[in-house]
């Protein structure tokens, strides 16, 4: 594949960037009253304002040229046709099929219609959710289930936790389902703490692992099984364990019944799997209707992604704005800032989505990509983040692009909280864009009556350069539908960027080597203290292993 930087579309953007480098957004706003209208898009209640980016209509048109030159439309067609676009694993990436309406026309992954199995999955999820929520699913001692422990990690954990947090009613009793606990860390403290408050006869475990070989998940699942069997005997596993996995053999070896197993197909990537039975906790906690609404929102964004022209296509625009910020403005990080406490899991969720998908320096053919790819994603809900890292966003030496995400309506109505929350969101985006000149800073200090000798020392620190790019994504409210739209928006945005950079967003080879090495080191450190280390390591790892073994020898 030709180097990206040598393509005419990239060169045109580079020349444009050099010409427009001195431009300040406050001047762009001053010069054009229609800027907000020009640089915003709405799709069924989800609204994207990208006017506070360092772009002009010419920038956008050159970015669209880039999307065309990289054949975003062709790749989108291939993805939706279920072609094996995950080339290193020879698989389709057809997670969109999971959110199709049930009467949808056939959709093929590698030539095979997947809709019959999607329909069967949805029915099974509904049936299981109903029996558990109604109390008809009873455990080994005949009692109804009141707690569900979901064991999984990465894509088999982040989605269901994030969505259930986002949609949970303010009063948990109103949800009507079992209490949910998520176990994702192999640090035994997490599972021990969760199990401590639970009763084996009313607890159900979901072991969610596409491969069913992920060490952390299987270790936690074994601990859970031992806890259950210890209290209720081996037969109890049949009534207290559900699996979601693509590895039926390993599930059966573990002892989970086929009836209690939900399939996960190889055309669904882990970080794109919240729409599958990996999302079962959402249906258990909030009801299958809520889960179906979430799917409908995702499907709505799929339709938009598929049908809208590139220059009015929200995922395309969000992806291109990201490329502009990362590759031309030099923003290597992206802050995800939901002004909604329910969306506190979103930064972590999107971190995996973006960084595991596009954190690659080789293109899909194995050649180096000659530009930066996935940004470092971090974030926290507003207003907590403001009191933690916003200093660096406003005045730090690095440029950090931000996505602000806010609901116009709150799920609670206490006092002035929501207006204050939204005022903070609006103020931050404006401050980041406008900045504050020396004159303005001076006038503000004079207004505050700050003595002139203090003013001198403080003045440079009160100047804000501004011109810092932000997107604002707002919805009337983040309900199941708009949340589905939002997650699908980011999935397609990541896809668009992958196409631009030429990387395969659906594999994750980078995680594998660390996993293999951890398995080897585990056998070494769990040997009797004093044993010879079998694997060759550097002196740092050897030194740390020796220290660990010496410590083990001392501790009972």
Q: Which residues are catalytic?
A: 356, 387, 515
The piece of 74-82, 95-103, 204-212, 360-368 that touches ligand F6P (CB under 6 A) is: 204-212
Using CA atoms, how far apart are residues 518 and 344, in angstroms rounded to an integer?
30
The piece of 75-83, 206-214, 295-303, 418-426 that touches ligand F6P (CB under 6 A) is: 206-214
Structure tokens belonging to residue 281:
């906790």
Using CA atoms, how far apart are residues 172 and 202, in angstroms rounded to an integer?
18
Residues 483-512 that bind ligand F6P (CB under 6 A): 508, 511
Indicate the SS3 state at residue 540.
helix
Give me the helices (H) in 202-327, please.
215-232, 237-240, 248-254, 280-286, 288-307, 314-323
Q: Which is nearer to ligand F6P, 404 or 490 (CB)?
A: 490
Query: Minimal distance in Å, beta carbon 90 to ligand F6P?
Result: 17
Site string for ligand F6P, 66-105 (x = CB under 6 A): ----------------------------------------
Using CB under 6 A as the binding rule, whether residue 261 contacts ligand F6P is answered as no
| Beta bridge partners of residue 472, listed in sequence order | 49, 404
Q: Which is nearer to ligand F6P, 209 or 325 (CB)?
A: 209
Which residue in the set 59, 100, 209, 327 belongs to the binding site for ligand F6P (CB under 6 A)? 209
Residue tagged 């699996």 (tokens): 243
Query: Minimal distance in Å, beta carbon 210 to ligand F6P?
Result: 4
Cβ neighbours of residue 282 closer than 8 Å, sequence gap 6 or more:
160, 163, 164, 167, 274, 290, 291, 294
Structure tokens belonging to residue 304:
């938009």
Q: Which is nearer to ligand F6P, 358 or 429 (CB)?
A: 358
Query: Minimal distance in Å, beta carbon 131 to ligand F6P?
Result: 25
Site string for ligand F6P, 344-363 (x = CB under 6 A): ------------x-------
Reported as type and span, the H/E element at residue 26 is helix 25-31
Q: How many CA atoms lie within 13 A of 444 on its CB side?
A: 12
The answer to whether the beta carbons of residues 286 and 164 sit under 8 Å apart is yes
Q: Which is nearer to ligand F6P, 209 or 348 (CB)?
A: 209
DSSP designation for 452: H
The answer to whether the beta carbons of residues 470 and 394 sit under 8 Å apart is no
Residues 134-153 that bind ligand F6P (CB under 6 A): 153
What count of other Cβ atoms lies within 10 Å of the Cβ of residue 433? 21
Q: Which is nearer to ligand F6P, 100 or 247 (CB)?
A: 247
Q: Which is nearer to ligand F6P, 155 or 505 (CB)?
A: 155
Residue numbers at the binding site for ligand F6P (CB under 6 A): 153-156, 209-211, 214, 217, 270-271, 356, 508, 511
């Amino acid at each position: 594949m030709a180097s990206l930087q040598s393509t005419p579309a990239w060169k045109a953007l580079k020349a444009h960037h050099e010409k427009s480098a001195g431009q300040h957004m406050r001047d762009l706003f001053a010069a054009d009253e229609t800027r907000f209208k020009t640089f915003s898009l709405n799709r069924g209640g989800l609204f994207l304002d990208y006017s506070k980016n360092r772009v002009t209509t010419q920038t956008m048109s050159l970015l669209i040229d880039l999307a065309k030159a990289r054949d975003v439309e062709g790749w989108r067609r291939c993805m939706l046709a279920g072609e094996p676009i995950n080339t290193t694993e020879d698989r389709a990436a057809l997670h969109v099929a999971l959110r199709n309406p049930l009467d949808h026309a056939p959709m093929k992954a590698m030539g095979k219609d997947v809709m019959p199995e999607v329909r069967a999955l949805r029915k099974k999820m509904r049936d299981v959710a109903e029996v558990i929520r109604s109390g008809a699913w009873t455990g080994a001692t005949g009692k109804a289930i009141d707690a569900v422990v979901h064991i999984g990690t990465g894509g088999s954990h982040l989605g269901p936790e994030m969505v259930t947090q986002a949609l949970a009613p303010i009063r948990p009793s109103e949800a009507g389902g079992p209490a949910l606990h998520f176990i994702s860390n192999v640090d035994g403290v997490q599972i021990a703490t969760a199990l401590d408050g639970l009763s084996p006869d009313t607890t159900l475990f979901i072991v969610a692992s596409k491969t069913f070989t992920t060490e952390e998940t299987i270790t936690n699942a074994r601990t859970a099984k031992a806890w259950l069997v210890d209290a209720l005997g081996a037969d109890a596993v049949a009534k207290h364990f559900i699996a979601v996995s693509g590895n039926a053999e390993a599930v059966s070896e573990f002892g989970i019944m086929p009836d209690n197993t939900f399939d996960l197909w190889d055309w669904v990537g882990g970080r794109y799997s919240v729409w599958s039975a990996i999302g079962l906790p959402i249906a258990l906690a909030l009801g299958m209707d809520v889960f179906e609404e979430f799917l409908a929102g995702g499907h709505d964004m799929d339709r938009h992604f598929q049908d809208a022209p590139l220059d009015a296509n929200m995922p395309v625009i969000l992806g291109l704005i990201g490329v502009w910020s990362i590759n031309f403005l030099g923003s290597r990080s992206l802050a995800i800032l939901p002004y909604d406490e329910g969306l506190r899991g979103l930064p972590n969720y999107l971190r995996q989505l973006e960084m595991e998908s596009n954190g690659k320096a080789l293109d899909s053919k194995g050649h180096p990509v000659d530009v930066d790819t996935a940004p470092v994603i971090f974030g926290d809900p507003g207003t907590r983040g403001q009191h933690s890292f916003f200093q660096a966003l406003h005045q730090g030496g690095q440029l950090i692009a931000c996505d602000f995400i806010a609901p116009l309506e709150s799920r609670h109505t206490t006092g002035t909280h929501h207006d204050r929350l939204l005022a903070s969101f609006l103020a931050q985006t404006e401050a980041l864009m406008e900045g504050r000149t020396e004159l303005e800073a001076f006038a503000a200090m004079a207004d505050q009556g700050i003595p002139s000798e203090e003013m001198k020392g403080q003045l440079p620190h009160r100047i804000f350069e501004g011109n810092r790019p932000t997107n604002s994504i707002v919805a009337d409210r983040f309900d199941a539908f708009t949340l589905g739209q939002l997650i699908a928006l980011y999935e397609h945005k990541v896809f668009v960027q992958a196409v631009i950079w030429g990387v395969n967003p659906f594999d994750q080879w980078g995680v594998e080597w660390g996993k293999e090495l951890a398995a080897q080191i585990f056998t070494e450190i769990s040997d009797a203290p004093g044993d010879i280390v079998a694997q060759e390591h550097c002196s740092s790892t050897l030194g740390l292993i020796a220290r660990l073994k010496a410590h083990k020898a001392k501790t009972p």
